[in-house]
Amino acid sequence: MVSGVFLLRQSSGLLVLYGLLLALLGWAGAAALISDPFMLPSPQMVIFRLIQDLSTPLLWHSIGQTALEACLGCLLGAVIAIPLAYLFFKSRIIAGVLSPSLAASQAIPAVALAPLLVLWVGYGLLPIVLLCALIVFFPILVSTLSGLKNLDEDIISAARLDGAGGWRLWKDIEFPLTMPSVFAGLRSGFTLSITGAVVGEFVMGGSGLGSRLSAQANVVDVSGLFGTILVLCILAATLYGSLVLLENQSPTVRAIRTK
């Protein structure tokens, strides 16, 4: 069983590497055909530029700033979404009243919310964190609620027979069993939160990667733009992979998967 899981992970890793290699070859081929670095710079140009930028503290500061905004926003969204999902699960009346409004709010683009947040709370870290939280809130809510609705009724009934109820039932039974769904929502949330941070910096300013992209676009720094976009992709993949690793190391999740 263990060797099978290891082989599966190894093959998945190889598929990812093959996919990246194909994308890199396709990029290099397209750049060679276009032959215009202002339209599409080659991978060599972008990587060389990125190495230069990484040798300065300015890019590292931008990476840290965007990562901070994204992480704080996602955590804030999760702190609100997870309890609210439980409230929806327990009360059909509250779910019926609030669900349509929350679903309708997802039609509002993030770029339209950013100016309002500036008017309400000003510039700085706080409005960008709030924007990230608003973006990730709904996916985490839906994922957590889906996990709660799919709980094994036999396990819940057995726990109630043993005297579990209220907070104890949630803490010891319902929430642990819902953790895979919570992690799924967090994985989606963290990647969306990166987008929220970049959009927020476009509108509200700051010193993160979004502001860097805006400055590079103003001076038509195409190689720099591609390099910053590549950094954003790596940052999102790193956050996603960290959550996958954290989920795989969780004793509760591992116990659920072995059943």
Per-residue pLDDT tens digits for 123-173: 889 999 999 999 999 899 999 999 888 887 777 777 777 766 667 777 777
2 phi-psi bin (left φ>0, alpha ψ -120 to 50, beta other): alpha
Can you tell me the distance from the alpha carbon of 201 to that of 237, in angstroms, rounded to the nearest whole number?
20
Closest CA relative to residue 70, chosen from 214, 236, 223: 236
Q: What is the pTM of this model?
A: 0.82
Q: In Å, how far from its chain's centre is CA 91?
A: 28
Burial class (CB in 10 A: 0-12, 13-18, 19+), 165: exposed
For helices 125-149 and 92-105, the axis angle rounded to 10 degrees is 130
Q: pLDDT tens for residues 194-250?
A: 999 999 998 888 889 999 999 999 998 999 999 999 999 999 989 888 888 888 887
